[in-house]
Amino acid sequence: MTYKQSYNLWLSSDAVDEKTKAELEAITNDENEIEDRFYKDLEFGTAGLRGVLGAGTNRMNVYVVKKTTQGLADYIINNFPDGKEMGVAISYDSRINSDVFAREAACVLAANGIKVYLSNRLRPVPELSFAVRHYGCAAGIMITASHNPPKYNGYKVYGADGSQLAPEDADKVLARIEKTDIFEGAKTCSMEDGVASGLITVFGDELDDAYLAEVKKQQLNPEAVKIAADKFKMIYTPLHGSGNIPVRRILDEVGFKNVYLVNEQIEPDGTFPTVKSPNPEERSAFDLAIELAEKEDIDFIFGTDPDCDRIGVVVRKTDGEYIALTGNMVGALLTEYVLSSRKAVNNLPDNGVVIKTVVTSYMSDAICKAYGVEVMNVLTGFKFIGEKIKEFEKTGSHEYLLGFEESYGYLVGTYARDKDAVVASMLIAEMAAFYSLKGMSLYDALMELYEKYGTYRERLMSITLEGIEGVEKIKRIMAGIRNNPPKTVAGHTVNYFTDISARTKTNLATGETASINLPKSNVLLFEMDGEAWCAARPSGTEPKIKFYFGTRADSVEKAEADLDAMLSFIQNLIDTIE
């Protein structure tokens, strides 16, 4: 079926509501818009669905949600003997239509005889991951588009272990989705009938109590909080998202007394009216928080994204400037804090392990080496960290200490299997309080790490290429680099070129190629002299190609200059690829 035929089908179908038809009729003369909405189905992968809200097969709407949920229902029924009784946990964040999509999914599952545990209000991603394990579910659904702009929403699927679906399971669900007609294929019922039948159970505060009890167990220095609590001050913003209640509650329960809130950003709001983007990776998201910090003389700020799986931190330098710490910087600080705190009480296991992704800073490698702790690298995506936790539970080979990725996601503890900004908020605040007792800010602590391990700095270059042409351009860029990898980058000799899609690592000096023990993924990695490196990968959730850079130097200035040179080199390389 062509995109135009699909468009006309939606216009003529009795299954499509009048509001949706009116939306489609409004674009009758916009051929590019019609094509973009209907040239493909919204892609379902290991991150589930994510797309722009609106009518069409390549958009997030109730028809796509119901079709996807029917595919998931068929997968559960055919792959879990007790799947109907095990059920599915569902939660959602503050985005536009998140609650609507959650209820639609619940009704489809109930109509298929599958038990549903549905959240009575917005809750974070990590709590949904916890809920899957807490209720013993076959799967979980989280309606969210993480930190994307307001026009997006999404549909994440979790497996029975609480991790996002593994690639092989995502493929099985996709196969079921593709067999489902978007209008006639999904069974459904009313919410009232689902609840009355006992198939839909709405959960509330009781899950919060169980979840936060597990979070609280991850404290490392409760005594430091107790000593510092009267004087130590912080600012928190949930950026209009789901972190407001659980983050404030956990901070209160562990004893923090001076938590200032950005009042304009407390209430959930899917339009995110006070920020350009609800992304804690961007300093601009903290403009209001910094204004408050200057007024109240506070040097520690943090904020969580809409689904509360990522956390951003802003600190004040000694000269008074507020700077946003990168995910890599916070990861390094947490690595040092977790390992040193456990060593101080003789609780650092011989088989301890820290897990990070292949595009995350090498600084944690240096820290772990100093403490005799192993580092494991996995593919980008926290599900791969979750898979390792599951493996360790079966084999007993390692004790999980910390997992993190450069994109501002962290997890301490194994109660959840996705990044958790609630536990990260508690521990980063505890860490800041701990250093405050030494007369240090988190910025001072970072500078101390640089003195101890060397100045590691990283940079991310993200290029947005939307539409069909953008998809093809990204493919050409990746193919161009893959087929002709540079042997030097900004004066650095490339020692090893790794193509993770081919699962090979090549020594460019000798030409020798060895296999690597990572699943296939469209990622290219260059390891260079001087502990410099860069990597390229298309985003799995946005129309972007991302380039990651890292280096080590003896000063911040030299490291930043090196990053500038590498970024410029790669940009020039991209410009030569048509």
Residues that are catalytic: 146
406: left (phi over 0), alpha (psi -120 to 50) or beta: alpha
Q: Which structure tokens are listed for 518?
A: 């990572």
CA end-to-end span of the chain: 30
The answer to whether 80 touches 138, Cβ cutoff 8 Å, is yes
Q: Name the E strands within 417-543.
A: 455-464, 488-489, 492-499, 504-507, 513-515, 524-528, 533-538
The string of DSSP codes covering 114-176 is: --EEEESS---HHHHHHHHHHHT-SEEEEE--TTS-TTEEEEEEE-TTSSBPPHHHHHHHHHH
- Structural element, H or E, at residue 568: helix 556-575
Residue 32's Cβ-count burial label (10 Å; 0-12, 13-18, 19+) is: exposed
Q: Are 188 and 114 in contact (CB under 8 A)?
A: no
CA distance 538 to 52: 18
User: Which uninterrupted H or E stretch holds 364?
Assistant: helix 363-371
Strands 374-378 and 352-357, by their bridges, are parallel
Alpha carbon 387 to its chain's center = 15
Single-letter amino acid code for the residue at 534: C
Residues in the chain: 578
Burial 536-574 (b: 16+ CB within 10 A, else e): bbbbebbebbbbbbbbbbeeeeebeebbebbbebbeebb
